[in-house]
């Protein structure tokens, strides 16, 4: 039977996708883990920092999918737009091809960086330098992990912040390296920066829309692989 292993960065992405797909928590796991039918979802931390530790005992899947949010670099990509790249460029400049599978059509390039692009100027520079449609912090590491195990890898992401807006550093810090959200850090940011509340509300709405798009694509993918 085909087995789809979906890897997200943060717990929130994993929980939201699991809810949309009707997956149940896996008992006995010390971190969030969800499964149902042929799909399993595991968060592997920001920049895939927990990838090796959390997948040590995971059986080999049929397909690995880097899923969740991304930031638009191309100006035409709106919030919620689906990004399924043919190529991922890593922080070291290496290029990783994604697998050709039935389901969402692949196109373009995704850039993986080792830091958050905080403003429109940084995004514009990255777009001009690489031609990438969007940016994340995990996909290149996830594709490398899959390739090392001779497992095909795919990226299914959706835009949570458009090219004209980045993720402010104080809000980016509300998520730790293990992918856990710390609400009090958000409160601190809002107290220190008056516009942080509006930024947080906009990001929450965009995140909801983006993850709904990703869940729909994963649902289609699970029926075709």
- pLDDT value of residue 1: 41
Could you say which DSSP state residue 1 is in? -
List the chain residues with pLDDT less than 50. 1
- pLDDT value of residue 2: 55
Residue 139, Cβ neighbours under 10 Å: how many? 33
Question: Which tokens belong to 113?
Answer: 């960086």
- pLDDT value of residue 202: 85
- pLDDT value of residue 4: 94
Residue 165 and residue 88 in contact, taking contact as beta carbons nearer than 8 Å: no
Q: Can you tell me the distance from the alpha carbon of 203 to that of 160, in angstroms, rounded to the nearest whole number?
A: 7
Residue 24 and residue 35 in contact, taking contact as beta carbons nearer than 8 Å: yes
CA angle 220, 111, 105 (to 5 degrees): 25
Residue 109 and residue 89 in contact, taking contact as beta carbons nearer than 8 Å: yes
What angle do the packed helices 196-222 and 183-192 form, to 10 degrees? 140
Q: Can you tell me the distance from the alpha carbon of 135 to that of 120, in angstroms, rounded to the nearest whole number?
A: 12
- pLDDT value of residue 175: 80
Helix (H) or strand (E) holding 144: helix 139-148
Q: Can you tell me the distance from the alpha carbon of 187 to that of 130, in angstroms, rounded to the nearest whole number?
A: 36
Pick the CATH number of 4-222 from 3.40.50.970, 3.40.50.1580, 2.40.100.10, 3.30.43.10: 3.40.50.1580
* Nearest alpha carbon to residue 72 among 157, 149, 153: 157
Helix (H) or strand (E) holding 207: helix 196-222
Q: Can you tell me the distance from the alpha carbon of 71 to that of 163, in angstroms, rounded to the nearest whole number?
A: 7
Instruction: List CB contacts of 117: < 8 A, sequence separation 6 or more.
Output: 71, 123, 126, 135, 166, 167
């Amino acid at each position: 039977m085909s087995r789809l292993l979906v890897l997200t960065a943060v717990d929130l992405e994993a929980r939201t996708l699991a809810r949309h797909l009707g997956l149940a928590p896996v008992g006995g796991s010390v971190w969030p883990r969800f499964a149902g039918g042929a799909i399993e979802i595991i968060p592997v931390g920001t920049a895939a920092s927990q990838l090796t530790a959390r997948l040590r005992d995971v059986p080999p899947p049929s397909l690995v999918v880097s899923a969740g949010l991304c930031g638009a670099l191309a100006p035409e990509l709106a919030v919620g737009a689906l990004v399924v790249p043919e190529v991922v460029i890593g922080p070291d400049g290496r290029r990783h091809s994604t697998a050709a599978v039935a389901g969402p059509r692949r196109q373009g390039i995704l850039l993986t960086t080792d830091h958050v692009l905080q403003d429109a100027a940084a995004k514009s520079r990255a777009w001009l330098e690489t031609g990438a449609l969007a940016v994340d912090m995990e996909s290149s590491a996830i594709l490398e992990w899959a390739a090392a195990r001779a497992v095909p890898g795919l990226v299914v992401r959706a835009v949570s912040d458009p090219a004209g807006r980045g993720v402010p550093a104080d809000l980016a810090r509300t998520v730790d390296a293990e992918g856990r959200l710390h609400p009090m850090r958000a409160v601190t940011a809002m107290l220190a920066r008056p516009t942080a509340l509006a930024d947080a509300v906009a990001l929450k709405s965009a995140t909801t829309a983006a993850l709904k798009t990703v869940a729909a694509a994963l649902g289609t993918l699970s029926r075709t692989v």
